[in-house]
Every structure is written in C-alpha cells, then in structure tokens.
Amino acid sequence: MHNNHSNAEFDFRVTDPFPSLDTRQQRIELISQVLMEIAGGNFEQIAPISDHFDEIDAIASGVNMLSEELRETVISRNYLDSVLRSIVDMLFIFDEQFVIQQVTPKVCELLKTNENNLVEYPINVLFDGRKKRFLQRIKASLREKEILYNITTSFKMANKEKLPVTISFFTLKNNQNKTTGYLMIADDVKEKILMSNALKQRNEELKTLIYKTSHDLKGPLASMLGLFNLLETEKQDILTLQCYLSHLKNSALKLNNTIKGLLEVGMVDQGELTEQAFSMYHTIQSVVSSLDNFPGREEVDIKIQVDKKLEITSQENFIRSILQNLIENSIKYRQLNRKGPAIVSIIVRSQKDRILLTVKDNGQGMDKNVMKKAFDMFYRGNESSKGSGLGLFIVKSNVEKLGGQIKIRSKSNEGTEIKIYLPIER
C-alpha cells in the first residue's frame, strides 16, 4: 500500500481477503482524498479498488465513475468554448429563463462591451426598456414554435447608440426532450441598411436626373425652335437678326452646360480609379489657366497657396473636376457691385496622411436654407442662376469616390468656404 497521500498517482490493490481495520480506514482516507481532489477541479485522480471488491470498493468505483463523467464534461465544455470563440458572428446561449450563459467575441466587439456586462444577465440587457412586450412575444412564440427566423430589431450598445440586427432563435433540448435553454444568432445589418439607403438615394437621384434633364433640355430646344420658326416665316432686319442670334447662342450655351454637367456625373459614376502621383501645384495652375476665357474671370483675383513639392497619389481627373467646379462657382457667384476686388483663394495644406484643400471666396454666399441643399442634384440657389445645378453635386460625388470628406461654410453677402479632406495615398 502507498501511504503518500500527496502523490498524484495511486496504485492500490488489496490482496488480503480479510482486511484489517487500519487497512479499511486507510482505504476510506484515500477515497476521501480523491473526493477532495475532485472538489478542487482535479478529475485525474483514481480511488483505489481491491481485488475482492467489497463495499468500500463499490464506493471507490462510484467515485471513479463520477470523476470520469466530470472529466468528460469538462472536455466537452472546453471544446464547446473553443467552437464558440471561433464563430465570427454574434451568437448568444441562454438558459431556460433567458439568462445569458455565453456569448461569442463578436458580440462584445460590436456592442462595445465585455462579457462581464452580459453573462449571467437576462436577455433584457440587450434591449432598451421599450422592448418588454417585444421580448414577451418572442418568449411566447418560442414556447410554441421552438424556432424563430430573421426578426428585425436593434441592440442597445454601451455608447448608447443602437445596432440594427436581425435575430433568429433555436430551442436547446436534452435527451429527454426537455428545454434546457435557447440559442440566438444575430446578424449585424447596419451596412446593409446603409447600402439600401444609398441605393434608394441613387434611385431618387436618377429619377431627378431624368426629370430635370428632360426639362432643362426641352426649354432651350423649344426656344431655339421658336426662333428658327420666326426666322423662316418673317423678314427680319439686321438688328433683329442679331437679337435672335444672341438668344440662340444663350439657348445653345444652356444646352452645352447641361450636357457637360451630365457627362461629368457619368464620369463620376462609371469612371475607374486609375491612380497616379502628381503635383497639386501644377494641377491647380493648369485648371486656373484653363479658365482664362471663362465669363467674369477678368474680374476675379485668384490666389494660390500650395507647396510646389507636394505630391499626392490619386485620380487626377477627379481632382481637376473638383477644382474646376469650385472655381467656376466662385467666379459665377461673385458680388457684381462690390467695392473691393473679387477674390478666390485656393489653399492646400498637408495633414499627416491627408491633405486639406480649401477654396474660399468673398462672393454672394448662401443663407442657411440654401446651404442645406447646396450639394443636391440640380439645385440652384436662386432663379437667376444660369448654372446647371450640378456643380456642387459633382464635387461631392468626386470627393466621396476618392474617399474624402467635404465641409461647407457660407454666409449671405460674405462669401463661401469649402474644405475638402483627401487622402494623400489611396
């Protein structure tokens, strides 16, 4: 017999068919020690069993069976934990009272919390207080149907925001077909909702594009056809002909502006991003030079502040489009009767991994109501505007496609400042 009770292994056999009292006491002590080890979570110890298998051996055998079952349970539990932690979706395990028992790491990541704030808490912790009836209906439906699919709702996040999700429930049962708990899988649908909303917005923009394009093309064409009809049916003097020709030219310019804007919209939507490194200074200078003959350019002083060595890697055509539309707007909406000169400032600053492009003018500016709609398709700030209403819409679309951000500040009769943040490299 081994009397060293601290030994991790037992090799115990009783060969005496009539064990003494001391031997029986020692065997009981060894069984007690094994039970203490089991209570402490060590399921590897084995209680000694004699060859003749008496009542003490029966107890030892029962203890060993308990140890084996617990050991298998722990292995299964650890295996289950490993499986759960490898799942990349949000998964919750509840007991039969809908108290959270386990969650996957994705749950904590998306809800911006930790397991301690979820495990051993009821399902209500996932929802705001207004969801009580909703949860009651869920529980009642589960008792009746056992499985529920794709219920749209939202979780409460630690930062008080809401995470839109679809949830599905499955009832967990044991071998006796008794409910032991529930499993819930949640799918984060935030991105899907954003994409759906973006698609709806694009569809609305497309409807607006079709309607406004037909309207903007129809007006100048009707005017031109009417003027041609007058020229064909009436005799005209030189002055009248010149007047008609002037009207024809204005109508043609309106058509040209509309078509030009539509072509730019198409370039943004369909253009592939072929990136290249280029100098911001040379690109700005090139765009400004191309506007030398733009109506009103001679009345505007354009100031450029940019490091001549600054290069970015991006889609240069989109940058050119942004600059051209912003500068054209500043020229078109200059204050015609101002005492001082009309000024447009183009400033580029490098900020870590991005650049800040600012185009600022001292022109007519916009009030708050106009500024809210400034980036909408075909929006014109006033009825006297001769533009296509696509300029700032094109600018915003280009900025977004380049992965940038745009901000606007403006005040009526004081000018407009537009700040654009663009990555130096995409």
CATH of the domain at 248: 1.10.287.130
State how far the Cα of 365 lies from the Cα of 371, in Å rounded to an integer: 9
> Beta partners for 100?
94
What 3-state DSSP class applies to 407? Answer: strand
CATH code where residue 120 lies: 3.30.450.20
Higher pLDDT, 279 or 236: 279
Q: Please state, in angstroms and as integers, the Cα–Cα distance from residue 260 to each residue in 86, 286, 290, 325, following that order.
A: 53, 19, 16, 11
* Inside any domain, residue 15: no
Domain termination residue (choose one: 211, 242, 270): 270
What is the signed CA dihedral for 126, 131, 132, 136, rounded to 10 degrees?
Answer: -90
Between residues 334 and 205, the one the model is more confident about? 334
Residue 112 lies in a domain: yes
Which is more confident, 294 or 252? 294
Q: Examine residue 261 and state whether it is found in any structural domain, yes or no.
A: yes
Give the pLDDT of residue 14. Answer: 42
Is 45's pLDDT higher than 90? no
Output the domain CATH number for residue 371.
3.30.565.10
Domain count, the chain: 4
Q: Of the residues 270, 300, 322, which one is the last residue of a structural domain?
A: 270
381 shares a domain with 403: yes
Q: Which residues contact 367 (CB under 8 A, 6 or more apart)?
A: 411, 412
183 and 256 in a single domain? The answer is no
Identify the band that residue 378 occupies on the pLDDT scale cut at 50, 70 and 90.
low
Q: How far is CA 324 from CA 197, 241, 298, 404, in A?
A: 30, 35, 16, 17
Are 237 and 287 part of one and the same domain?
A: no
Specify if 3 maps to a domain. no
CATH number of the domain that 42 lies in?
Answer: 1.10.8
Regarding whether 153 and 51 lie in a shared domain, the answer is no
Looking at the fold, whether 423 and 352 belong to one and the same domain comes out as yes
Residues 184 and 206 in one domain: no
Q: Looking at 15-19, 38-42, 103-107, 211-215, which range is the least confident one? A: 15-19
Higher pLDDT pick, 151 / 340: 151
pLDDT above 50: residue 7: no
Q: Are residues 172 and 309 in the same domain?
A: no
- The confidence band for 16, taking pLDDT boundaries of 50, 70 and 90, is very low
pLDDT at 117 > cutoff 70:
yes
For the stretch 350-366, pLDDT in tens is 988 899 999 999 998 98
For residue 156, name the pLDDT band (cuts at 50, 70, 90): very high
Q: How far apart are CA 300 and CA 184, in angstroms?
A: 65
Question: What is the share, in percent, of the chain residues with pLDDT greater than 70?
Answer: 75
Same domain, 336 and 419: yes
> Is the pLDDT confidence value at 315 over 70?
yes
Residue 420 sits in the same domain as residue 286: yes
Distance CA 408, CA 358 (A): 10
Least confident of 24-28, 99-103, 122-126, 341-345: 24-28
pLDDT at residue 64 greater than cutoff 60: yes
Share of the chain above pLDDT 90, in %: 28
Q: Which range has the worst mean pLDDT, 57-71, 98-112, 371-385?
A: 371-385
pLDDT tens digit sequence for 337-350: 777 789 999 999 99
**299 and 396 fall within a common domain:** yes
What pLDDT, on the 0 to 100 scale, is given for residue 345? 96
Q: Confirm whether 162 is domain-assigned.
A: yes
Q: Which of 243, 270, 297 is a domain's end point?
A: 270
74: in domain = yes
pLDDT score recorded for residue 191:
82
What is the pLDDT, as a whole number, of residue 18?
A: 43
Is residue 311 domain-shared with residue 420, that is, in the same domain? yes
| C-alpha separations of 31 from 43, 76, 355, 396 in Å | 13, 26, 75, 79
Give the residue numbers spanning the domain of 398.
Answer: 273-426
pLDDT score at 324: 87
Question: What pLDDT does residue 264 have?
Answer: 59
Spatial neighbors of 245 by CB under 8 A, at least 6 apart, are: none
Checking 18-26 for CB contacts under 8 A at 24+ apart, the result is 19/50, 19/54, 24/56, 26/1
Does 256 map to a domain? yes
Give domain status of residue 320, yes or no.
Answer: yes
**pLDDT(131) > 70:** yes
Residue 372's pLDDT band, with cuts at 50, 70 and 90, is confident
Res 409: pLDDT: 93
- The pLDDT confidence band at residue 293, using thresholds 50, 70 and 90, is confident
Could you tell me the strand order of the sheet in which 179-188 lies? Answer: 100-103, 90-95, 179-188, 162-173, 147-156
Q: Quick check: 323 pLDDT over 50? A: yes
- The conformational region for residue 98 under phi > 0 = left, psi -120 to 50 = alpha, else beta, is left
Higher pLDDT, 83 or 89: 89
Listed range (23-27, 316-320, 419-423) with the worst mean pLDDT: 23-27
| Span 127-151, average pLDDT | 91
Rounded CA separation 266/206 (Å): 11
Q: Is the pLDDT confidence value at 187 over 60?
A: yes
CA 246-248-250 angle, to 5 degrees, is 70
pLDDT band at 209 (very low <50, low <70, confident <90, very high): low
pLDDT for position 207: 62
HSE value, Cβ hemisphere, 13 Å, CA-based, for 77: 8
* Interval 366-375 mean pLDDT: 85
Q: Is the pLDDT of residue 258 over 60?
A: yes
Mean pLDDT, rounded, for 237-262: 72
Q: Tell me the mean pLDDT in the region 136-154.
A: 92
Residues 266 and 393 in one domain: no
Q: What pLDDT shows up at residue 272?
A: 54
Mean pLDDT along residues 227-252? 74
pLDDT value at residue 110? 92
Specify which residues 417 forms β-bridges with.
Answer: 360, 409
